């Protein structure tokens, strides 16, 4: 069975994602949209066009996202240097499953 | 000292220009001197020379250490987090083409973490001047951030009352998952900063209280030393001289 994907394009929150309050705001603002995710869908977080990411922002968005959709969150287009460095720090404490697929 | 006067000879050494050039700049008002003594010799304030050279790290340090807090000049002053975010975007544009794409991204992220840290830990509790000093010094290839906040020791002592001094506090801040904003789950910021600095051709000079950290690529330990000059808040100088 082919699973469908629910894609979150982070660039739609901005390309410089650094502060804790903006990460928190992004998470809160996205709640109504997340209600549309079905139980069988995988949640793809797309980092395409993100120029700067910090753990402060990611802690407020990615961490609760992973908690909510545990095991179904996949990260794609994570080539940006600050994205890689941020994910490495987050993974040390709360591993997020990286995706092997690329768009 | 902020207001001590410097002779024209010393000023010419600092600026790398001849004394005649300084006299000409004085006449044309490009760099005005202060006339003092019976013969009206030319003198200069160190702060004026720093401003002329835009020696940001020195200017920021003087601002952070000044006994009385006044907002810095508008071009380096981020009173709120929104202003800081906008200036961070400007920094990112300013670095583009001057360093590699990955260095732009990492330097912006490190500056973003340090600057936001100042706001996170001092929101509603700024002792005098609200906000931070933030500037890019392309001539010296560094990014300067400073605040006149409570400092790392005061913030961490709320969750780690056993901390005795600023050196211990800096060590905890850069190595342990701990936050002065308990019960929030957080505390990745300065660990992230450390890992980026030691894995790239960057440097970080960080001072809070009387503790100073100088971190560079490949460092395994945290070289924290006691310094005489006291800064209540924090100052961070991110160097990228070695980056392409």
Exposed e or buried b per residue across B190-208, where buried means at least 16 C-beta atoms within 10 angstroms of its C-beta:
bbbbbbbbbebbbbbbbbb
The answer to whether B188 and B109 have CB atoms below 8 angstroms apart is no
DSSP 8-state symbol, A98: B
0.85 surpassed by complex ipTM: yes
* H/E stretch holding B199: none
pLDDT in tens, chain B (244 residues): 445 789 999 999 998 899 999 999 899 877 889 998 888 899 998 888 887 887 889 999 999 999 999 999 999 999 999 999 999 999 999 998 889 999 999 999 999 999 999 999 999 999 999 999 999 988 788 999 999 999 999 999 988 999 999 999 999 999 987 766 655 555 688 999 999 999 999 999 999 999 999 999 999 999 999 999 999 999 999 999 876 5
Q: Do B92 and A51 touch (CB under 8 A)?
A: yes
The predicted model scores a pTM of 0.84
H-type helices in A1-103, by residue range?
Answer: 20-29, 31-34, 55-68, 81-93
Tell me which chain B residue has its CA closest to the CA of residue A88: B192
Any CB–CB contact under 8 A between A21 and chain B?
Answer: yes
The CA-based angle B107-B113-B118, given to 5 degrees, is 130
Q: Which of B64, B237, B85, B157 is nearest to A18 (CA)?
A: B85
Query: Is there a contact between A81 and B105 if contact means CB atoms under 8 Å apart?
Result: yes
Q: How far is CA A64 from CA A16, A28, B39, B174, in A?
A: 20, 11, 71, 24
Q: Which chain A residue's Cα is nearest to B123?
A: A21
Task: Write out chain A residues lying below 8 Å of B101, CB-based.
Answer: 81
């Amino acid at each position: 069975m082919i699973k469908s994907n629910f894609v979150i394009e982070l660039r739609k929150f901005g390309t410089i994602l650094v502060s804790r309050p903006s990460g928190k705001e992004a998470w809160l603002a996205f709640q109504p949209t997340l209600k549309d995710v079905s139980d069988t869908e995988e949640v793809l977080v797309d980092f395409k066009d993100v120029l700067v990411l910090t753990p402060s922002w990611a802690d407020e968005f990615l961490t609760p996202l992973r908690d909510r959709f545990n095991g179904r969150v996949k990260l794609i287009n994570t080539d940006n240097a600050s994205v890689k460095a941020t994910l490495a720090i987050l993974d040390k404490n709360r591993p997020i499953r990286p995706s092997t697929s690329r768009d | 000292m902020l207001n001590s006067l410097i002779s024209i000879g010393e000023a010419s050494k600092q600026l790398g220009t001849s004394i005649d050039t300084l006299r000409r700049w004085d006449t044309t008002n490009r760099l005005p001197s202060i006339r003092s003594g019976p013969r009206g010799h030319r003198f200069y304030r160190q702060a004026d020379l720093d401003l002329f050279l835009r020696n940001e790290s020195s200017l920021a340090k003087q601002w952070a250490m000044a006994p009385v807090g006044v907002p810095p000049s508008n071009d380096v002053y981020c009173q709120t987090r929104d202003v800081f975010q906008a200036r961070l975007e400007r920094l990112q544009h300013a670095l583009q083409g001057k360093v590699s794409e990955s260095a732009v991204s990492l330097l912006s992220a490190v500056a973003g973490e340090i600057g936001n840290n100042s706001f996170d830990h001092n929101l509603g509790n700024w002792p005098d001047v609200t906000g931070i000093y933030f500037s890019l010094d392309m001539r010296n290839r560094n990014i300067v951030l400073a605040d006149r906040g409570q400092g790392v020791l005061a913030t961490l002592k709320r969750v780690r009352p056993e901390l005795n001094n600023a050196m211990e506090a800096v060590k905890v801040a850069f190595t342990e998952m701990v936050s002065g904003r308990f019960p929030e789950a957080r505390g990745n910021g300065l660990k992230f900063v450390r890992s980026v600095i030691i894995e790239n051709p960057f440097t970080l000079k960080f001072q809070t209280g009387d503790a100073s950290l100088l971190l560079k690529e490949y460092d395994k330990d945290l070289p924290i030393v006691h310094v005489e000059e006291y800064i209540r808040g924090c100052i961070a100088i991110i160097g990228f001289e070695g980056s392409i």
